[in-house]
């Protein structure tokens, strides 16, 4: 398992966020689950740079998720293995609670629960990459903020090319 953190990922994150917030966010259904606050993305700077860094992978999905305080979420600790082989997150909040970020877990069969393995703390314009089969969660269960100050994270799923 190799986890990667890349700070100062985008060239102009301020403009990137402004442009993202000018577009709408939608609820997206996937089977019985509804994901709220999703903005599907076309090829953008984030995807372009990720594709350059991971040429042996292809992007299966690219979206920004806006998650205000107390937004109901379909899951907490989960994996993304059905979406690809790698999960890439980009934290887009300048102002956020210090505990904001993502925690990776290991399943404990004996206790039938999850043990934290490592925690990424969000920093504005920080990208993190980890294996999609690793159970993970946001650090703040109830999310945070309202409107343009809501939790804002871009997600890209990568699948190894055959």
The predicted-structure confidence for 88-105, as pLDDT tens digits, reads as follows: 999 999 999 999 999 999
- SS (HEC) of 1-66: CCCEEECCCCCCHHHHHHHHHCCCCEEEEECCEEEEEEEECCCCHHHHHHHHHCCCEEEEEEEEEE
Higher pLDDT: 33 or 96? It is 96
Three-class DSSP category at 149: helix
pLDDT at res. 1: 61
- 11's CB contacts (< 8 A; 6+ apart) are 45
Closest C-alpha to 101, from 52, 58, 50, 138? 138
Q: Distance between CA atoms of 127 and 133, rounded to whole angstroms?
A: 18
pTM (predicted TM-score):
0.95
- pLDDT tops 80 at residue 7: yes
């Amino acid at each position: 398992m190799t986890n990667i953190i890349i700070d100062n990922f985008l060239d102009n994150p301020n403009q990137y966020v402004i442009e993202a917030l000018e577009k709408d966010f939608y609820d997206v259904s996937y089977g019985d689950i509804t994901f709220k606050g999703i903005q599907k993305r076309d090829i953008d700077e984030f995807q372009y740079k990720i594709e350059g860094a991971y040429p042996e992978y292809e992007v299966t999905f690219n979206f920004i998720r806006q998650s205000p305080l107390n937004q109901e979420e379909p899951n907490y600790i989960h994996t993304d293995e059905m979406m690809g082989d790698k999960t890439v997150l980009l934290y887009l909040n300048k102002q956020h609670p210090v505990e904001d970020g993502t925690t990776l877990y290991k399943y404990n069969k004996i206790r039938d629960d999850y043990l934290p393995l490592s925690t990424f703390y969000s920093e504005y314009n920080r990208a993190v990459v980890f294996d999609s089969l690793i159970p993970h969660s946001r650090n703040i269960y109830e999310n945070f903020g309202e409107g343009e100050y809501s939790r804002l994270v871009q997600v890209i799923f990568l699948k190894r090319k055959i």
